[in-house]
Amino acid sequence: MASRRTAYAVVRRTGTTARSGRTRFVSAETGAGVGAGTGPGVGARGAGRLTLRARGRAARTGAALGCGALLLAGCASMPDSGDMQAVDQSPRADADSQVRVYGVPPQDGAQPTEIVSGFLDATTSDEVDFSTAVQYLAKSTKKTWRPFSATKVLQQRPKADPVGQANREDPNGYTVTLSGNQVATVDRNHAYTPEEKAYQQSVHLTKEDGQWRIDRLPDGLVLGQSDFQRIYRSVNKYYFADYKSEAQSSKAGKNVLVADPVYLRQRIDPITASVAALLEGPTNWLNQVTASAFPTGTRLKSSGLSLDDSNALKVRLGKRAAGATPGQCRRMAAQLFFTVQDITRASKLSEVELQDEGGNRLCVLSQDRANSEFAPRKHIGRPAQEYWIAADQKVVSMPDTTTEPRPVRGPFGTGKTALSSIAVSRGESSVAGVSADGRSLYVAPLDYGAERGPAVLHSTAENGLSAPSWDGLGDLWIADRSDKGSRLLRLREGKGTPDVVTVPGLGDRRIKAIKVASDGIRIAVLVEDKGRTTLQLGRVERGGTAQHPTLSVEEMRPVAPQLEDVVAASWAGGSRLVVVGRQSGGVQQMQFMETDGSASNAQTLPGVSGVKAVTASEDEARPLVADGAEGIVRLPQDANWKTVAKEGKAPVYPG
C-alpha cells in the first residue's frame, strides 16, 4: 500500500435505461469483469464512466485478482446502496496502469443532459478513436467532429446546464451549456499553453430515430484537470538548435539538441505517437530557433512501435527519408533516440535503426554513439560540485567526494573581492562575479596565480547588475537593471564589448534575474512589475551577420502563472525548472515546472524555510542546493534537505 503507483478500476454500466444498470470492473489485460453489483445510475454528472481509485501496484498478470484483492483489503470499497458518484482521478497515473477506462454507450431514453454528460465521460476513455463517444453524436456530426483540433483543460470537469428548447421553430432541439474555469489549451501540435479564463460553449441536441443525439458542438476536447493528467503525459521531442547568423561560429556546434515538450495520450501507442509528433516538426514557439534533420514531409510507415528484447527500436520511414546522407541519417536517428528515450524512461534504449519504406536499413545509432555525439547534456558541462560565496567572501566549492567546502583556485578564492553573486562557466574554467554593491562585473580564470583584472562591465542603474549566467556556448549573460526598464547584455566568451539583447514587450518592467539554458536558445527571466515578480521564458533569436550579430528575446511566456511572487528559479533539466515563490496570500513553496507552464510530474519537493536562492543542474541526477534560513542546504535524491554550510549565499552550479 506504500507504492507510488495508482491502479484504476473501471466501472462499466450496462442496463436497459439511463437510470438503472449493473457495474463491473474491466481488466486492461483481459477485458474480463472483476466484480459486479447493481445500483442506481450516475445521472447527469457521470453518465458515461465511473472510476474507483486504489493505491498499490497491480501485477501484469492477474490484474483482475489484484483489483479484487484491493477492494477486499479495504483500499477501496463498493457501496451497496445510495447514489453513485464519480471519484476524482489521481493527479498523476503511470502509463502502464493495468486497468483502463472505457466509455459507456448511450442508453435508450436518455435525456439531453445525460447524453452530454455521457459524451464527456466517453471522451476521457482509453479508446484510440473515441468510438464510444461518437455514438452520442448525430449521424451528420460523426463525420465532422475533430477531437484532436485542440484540448481545453478546465479546473474541474465542465458543468453541463440545460438551456432547453432553442425556439418554436426547433421543437425537437435542445441546448446544453458547458461552463467552467479554463486553465490551459493544448493545440493541434500538442503544445500546452497556460490560459486562465472563463470557459463557456453550447452543445445542441436533436431527436434522431427517437433518441437525443448531439448535432452541434465545438471541435476538440474539453477535460477537467484530473482527467487530463490521467490521460496525457508530457514528452520531450528533440530538435537541433539553429543559431542562424552565429551558426558558423566554432563555439556553436552542429549537434545541440533542444527539448520541445508536448502532451500525448499516454496509453495509446505512446512510442508511435511520440515518433509521429517528432516528424510533425517543432512546436510554434520553438520553430524559429530549432530545425529538424528529417527531410520536410517525412512520414512514418511503422505502426505499433515498441522496443524489442534487446531494447532496440526499428522505425520505417517514407520515401523522403531515403535520400538522406549518412550524417543526416545519424542526426535523424539522434532526434528519434532521445525522444523515444524520454517516453520509455523505465527502459534504456540500446539503439535506433532507421529503415526506408521497403524495410532496408538506412542507418543505426547506438546508445554509446548517441550519448557521445548528441546527448543534450553535452553542453551542460560536468557539474560534479556546487559553488557559493562563503561568509568570508571567498568563493568555495564542494565536490561530492568531500563534506567540507574549499576555496576555489584563482583570485575569487582569496576573499579579497566582496561579491553579491557569481556564475561559473560550464567548463569550470572561469568565474564571473558581481561586486557587493552590484555595480561592477569581474571575470577571472580558475587558475592558481591568476589575477582578477579590471571590471569588464560597470552599471549606473539604480538596481545595478543581476547575477550573471553562462550558456553552453561559452557566452556570459547579465541584466543591467533600472526602475524604468532593464538592458539584457551578452558578453561573447565573457569579455569584450557586450551585445545588447532586445526584449520586445518588456517596456518599463524590470528584469530581476536571468538564467540562460545550456543551449543558448532559451532564457528564464524573473520580471518585476509593480511589486509583483513573475517567471517568464523567452527564446533567443539571432540575426544580423556573423561579424555583427543581433539578438532578441522573443515571445516571453509565463512558466509559473499561479505564483505571483517568484523569488528564484533555475534550470533543472532539458525542459524543467525549479521555482521558488508563493501564491496570492500563500506561503513560500518550491516546485518543479515544465517550460511550457505545466506542472511537472517530478517528485514533490520537501519544504525548506526562508529560501532566498536556489540552484539546480540540467543533469537531473544532481541534488538541489538552496540558500535558506539554515544556511546553504542540499537535497540529494531520495533524501531530505541537509545543511552543508551554516553561512554563505548565492549557491550555483556551472551555468
**pLDDT 10s digits, 223-264:** 999 999 999 999 999 999 999 999 887 676 779 999 999 999
Q: Which of 378, 394, 423 is the last residue of a domain?
A: 378
The per-residue pLDDT for 381 is 66
Instruction: Name the residue with higher pLDDT: 284 or 7.
Output: 284
What is the domain-level CATH number for residue 612?
A: 2.120.10.30
Return the pLDDT at 51: 40
Final residue of a domain: which of 310, 343, 378?
A: 378
**Domain C-terminal end among 102, 134, 169:** 102
> Is 458 part of any domain?
yes
Residue 494 within any structural domain of the chain? yes
- Asked if residue 133 belongs to a domain, the reply is no
Q: Is the pLDDT of residue 401 over 90?
A: no
Q: Beta strand 499-502 with 549-558: parallel, antiparallel or unpaired? A: parallel
- In order of 12, 17, 78, 505, the CA distances from 20 in angstroms are 12, 6, 16, 58
In this structure, what C-alpha cell is assigned to residue 180? 467552467
Same domain (yes/no): 352, 457: no
pLDDT value for 402: 76
Taking the C-alpha atoms of residue 223 and residue 532, their distance in angstroms, rounded to an integer, is 31
Using the predicted structure, report yes or no on whether residue 25 has a pLDDT greater than 80: no
Domain identity same for 16 and 48? yes
Q: Are residues 407 and 355 in the same domain?
A: no
pTM of the model as a whole: 0.84
32-41, 74-83, 290-299, 558-567: the lowest-pLDDT one: 32-41
* Helices and strands of the chain, counted as H and E runs: 8, 39
Does residue 162 form part of some domain?
A: no
CA atoms within 13 A on the CB side of 195: 15
Does residue 153 form part of some domain?
Answer: no
Low-confidence winner among 322-336, 369-383, 410-424 (lowest mean pLDDT): 369-383
In a domain, 624, yes or no: yes
Same domain? For 459 and 548 the reply is yes
State percent of the chain over pLDDT 90: 69
- Is the residue at 77 inside a domain? yes
SS3 583: coil
Cα 461 from Cα 453, distance rounded (Å): 23
Tell me the mean pLDDT in the region 284-305. Answer: 95
Q: How far is CA 113 from CA 84, 117, 159, 162, 204, in A?
A: 17, 6, 10, 7, 11
Give domain status of residue 146, yes or no. Answer: no
DSSP string, 244-306: GGGTTSTTT-S--EEEEEEEEETTS-HHHHHHHHHHT---TTTTTTEE-SSPTT--B---S--
Mean pLDDT for the chain overall? 84
At residue 10, the pLDDT reads 45
pLDDT bucket at 164, cuts 50 / 70 / 90: low
Q: Above 80 in pLDDT, residue 69?
A: no
Q: Do 410 and 370 have their domain in common?
A: no
pLDDT at 83 over 90: no
What does the alpha-carbon distance between residue 21 and residue 312 come to, in Å, rounded to a whole number? 47
pLDDT value for 75: 37
Q: How many domains does the chain have?
A: 3
Residues 484 and 351 in one domain: no
467 and 342 housed in the same domain = no
User: How open is the CA angle 390-394-396, to the nearest 5 degrees?
Assistant: 70
Whether residues 326 and 459 fall in one domain: no
**Comparing 300-304, 582-586, 627-631, which segment has the lowest mean pLDDT?**
582-586
Task: Give the domain range for residue 80.
Answer: 1-102
pLDDT band at 3 (very low <50, low <70, confident <90, very high): very low
Q: What pLDDT shows up at residue 494? A: 96
pLDDT of 497 strictly over 60: yes
Residue 73 has pLDDT above 90, yes or no: no
Residues 368 and 403 in one domain: no
- Is 50 exceeded by the pLDDT of residue 57? no
pLDDT reported for residue 23? 28
Q: Are residues 350 and 434 in the same domain?
A: no
Same structural domain for residues 472 and 620? yes
- Both 579 and 600 in a single domain? yes
What pLDDT is recorded for position 540?
A: 98
Encode pLDDT of 507-524 as tens digits: 889 999 999 999 999 999
Residue position matching grid coordinates 527502459: 347
14 vs 36: CA distance, rounded Å? 11
pLDDT score at 346: 65
pLDDT for 29 equals 38
3-state percent helix, strand, coil for the chain, nearest multiple of 5:
15, 40, 45
pLDDT higher than threshold 70 for residue 5 = no
pLDDT recorded at residue 639: 85
